[in-house]
Structure formats: C-alpha cells, structure tokens
Amino acid sequence: MPPVLNTNTICTPPPSTRGRKKAVTFDTVPDIALFTNSLVHIHHGNSLEFYDSWPAPTVIVSDGGYGVLGFEGDTSDHLELPKWYEPHIKAWAAHATAQTTLWFWNSEIGWAAVHPVLEKYGFRYINANVWNKTKAHIAGNVNTAKIRRFPVVTELCVQYAFEARINDVPLKQWMLAEWERTGLPFREANLACGVADAATRKYFDRGHLWYQPPPDKFQMMADYANKHGAAEGRPYFSANGKRSLTAEEWEAMRYKFRCPHGYTNVWERTALHCGERVKAPNGKAAHLNQKPLNLMTLIIKASSDERDVVWEPFGGLFSASLAAWRCGRKAYAAETDSTYYQIGIRRFSEPAPMSLNL
C-alpha cells in the first residue's frame, strides 16, 4: 500500500466551534496528504476541495456535524447544521447519479434540521433507520429527574436516493406524461403488465405512494404503448425521441438496494464491540464518534456492488471507507483533523481486504 503524496500539508478546519473531549492531539503533521491503496483514496483536508476529483458515487456515507460540538468544526446546536451541510449537499448533488444512495447519520433533531436542504438538492427520502445502542449505552447513570426526558440511546441513519430525471423531469411525472401521450386509458397499464390493478395504482400514483416499475414491467408497458398507443406519438417511453429505453437502461435509473434476510429499520447493537474501538497512544478512545464497522458494512453492501464508489466526506477514523474496502468497494474520503487522519489511515495497514465475494 504505497502512499503517493508527501506534501506535509497543514489543513485548516472549517471555521466554527472547538470540539470537546478529544483524547489526543499529535504535534506531528501527516507524512502524506493522500493515502491510497488499490481501492482507497483518503485525503487529509476539507472534502469540499476533493469532490470534483472523485469519481461519481454509488454510495455517500455522511457522518458529519451533529450540532453538539462533537469535533473541532462541529456547531453548538442543530440550528446551524443546515448552513454547515449545504455546500456539501450541493456538491454531492452535482456528482450524484440516478443510482446514488445517501446514508445520512445524525441525531433525530440534526436530521430534521437538515432534511429540507437534502430535499432541495434532489435527495429523496426513502427511510429512517434507528441505531439502538441499547441500555448498555447509558449504564444506568442518567439522572432523569435532572435532565427531564428519557435517556437517549439512539442515532438515525437515514436513507435517501438521488432523484432520477429524464429530460429534467422526475421519473414519476415522466411516466405519467408518457402514458398520457399514448391516448390509452390508465387502466390499460394493468393489461400491459398482466396484473389486476397494481400497475395503474402504483406506477401512476401522483403522490408519495408512487412506485418505480421494475425493469420487466417497464418493458411490458413500453411494448404495449408502442403497439397500441397513438401512432403519431411513437416511440413512447423514450429519452431521445428515437427509441424506447431498454429494461437495462431503466434499471440504471434507480438506486441499488438489497436487504439481507431478517433486517428491519431498527438496528440493535451496542456502540462498539470489544477491540473495535480505536485507541489513542494514551489509551483513550481516539474518536468519540467512531461508528461500528458492521453497520457501515450493512448499508454499503445493501446499496452497492463490488467495485462501486463509496464517498465518506467526513472521515473521522474512516469506518465507512474501511468497511467499503473490506467488501471490495472503492472508497474516497477526507478528514480535516490531522490527528484523526493519522490514526485513521493506520487502520488500512491491517490485513488485506476480505474476499471480494462477500
């Protein structure tokens, strides 16, 4: 794993507040500002400066500001988070494709504050997943009479998909407009798909119950429309006016998703399994926000294939990149803090990736 750059760059974190409870701060600057191996690119510096040089992401794992002074540059409350995230979200949208999934980690109030910004730039809400760290997280030490609320043992990991568009129209509206052009009644979509009523109900819903037809049903609808629809409007379901989209092209217009058997949107696991917590030389936790590798692996494998590109804009100790590397994905990450960067890249000098067939 040869490091490729040796610039000794000193990075300035974004202007904001100072983080609490940092275990150690190294005096040394990193020997390298970019760590690479065959699948991984990890920069020391502000991710905003690197997005343009990274290949388009299939997955973005965002674990940035929480509004709790969690690290140097985090804000002191959730109200500042939309402003903190907006330049990043704007850049993600500029590089996302119809296959891009964003996993947005945060507290529930942090997510609520940032959600409108994500929507504004075209990230469509899919699902909120709850990481339940269990009672072990509080170890019975909470004075609830003083805090006057239930003790919090959860974080959220919210799934978004980047909205696919054809000729600048969201797929939902495009589907509807294409069928309208045929002059056929909407109920004939059921006939086209060989179902009783599901096609018309799901594929032409105008609201949040809309369901993107799977490739085989899309193909059946396109074939039917081109055979029975008004002759002067053909081809239907075409992006270029010359031929209809193929089932494969349609498949590429939706985010990837495979749920392992038995999983729900509640992920129960204690914060970090024994031995997984990375320690600073003084024995303290090197980064208080280090995420469990198995949850990172879960979301990455659910939403990408081997060799796909995973972005981790707020690296910390690079848990998402490590998980991505270990299951054969390409990882692109950045971390502004020199100490976290130096400790984090050491995690990649451990054993080689697991089998790409995982």
Ligand X SMILES: C[S@@+](CC[C@H](N)C(=O)[O-])C[C@H]1O[C@@H](n2cnc3c(N)ncnc32)[C@H](O)[C@@H]1O
- Residues forming contacts to ligand X in the complex (CB under 6 A) are 14, 46-48, 63-64, 70-71, 73, 287, 289-291, 314-317, 319, 334-337, 340
Rounded to a whole number of angstroms, the minimum distance from the CB of residue 329 to ligand X is 16
What is the chain's length?
358
Closest to ligand X by CB, 67 vs 229, is: 67
Closest to ligand X by CB, 172 vs 329, is: 329
Rounded to a whole number of angstroms, the minimum distance from the CB of residue 145 to ligand X is 30
Distance between CA atoms of residues 211 and 168, nearest Å:
19
- The three-class DSSP label of residue 334 is strand
Distance between CA atoms of residues 324 and 330, nearest Å:
7
Closest to ligand X by CB, 244 vs 342, is: 342
Contact 72, 13 (CB under 8 A): yes
First to last CA, the chain: 22
For residue 20, give every residue at least 6 positions away whose Cβ sits within 8 Å of its Cβ, in sequence order, or none: 69, 70
Rounded to a whole number of angstroms, the minimum distance from the CB of residue 23 to ligand X is 12
Q: Quick one: which of 120, 204, 190 has its CA closest to 162? A: 120
Closest to ligand X by CB, 109 vs 191, is: 109
Rounded to a whole number of angstroms, the minimum distance from the CB of residue 262 to ligand X is 25
- The three-class DSSP label of residue 215 is helix
Closest to ligand X by CB, 8 vs 240, is: 8
Rounded to a whole number of angstroms, the minimum distance from the CB of residue 256 to ligand X is 22
Closest to ligand X by CB, 46 vs 304, is: 46
Rounded to a whole number of angstroms, the minimum distance from the CB of residue 315 to ligand X is 6
Closest to ligand X by CB, 316 vs 353, is: 316
Rounded to a whole number of angstroms, the minimum distance from the CB of residue 105 to ligand X is 7
Rounded to a whole number of angstroms, the minimum distance from the CB of residue 107 to ligand X is 11
- The residue of the chain with the least Cβ separation from ligand X equals 316
Distance between CA atoms of residues 42 and 336, nearest Å:
11
Contact 330, 320 (CB under 8 A): no
Closest to ligand X by CB, 96 vs 296, is: 296
Q: How many CB atoms are located within 10 Å of the residue 212 CB? A: 18
Range 79-85 contact pairs with CB under 8 angstroms and sequence separation of 24 or more: 79/113, 80/16, 81/106, 81/110, 81/113, 81/114, 82/113, 82/114, 82/116, 82/117, 84/14, 84/16, 85/114, 85/117
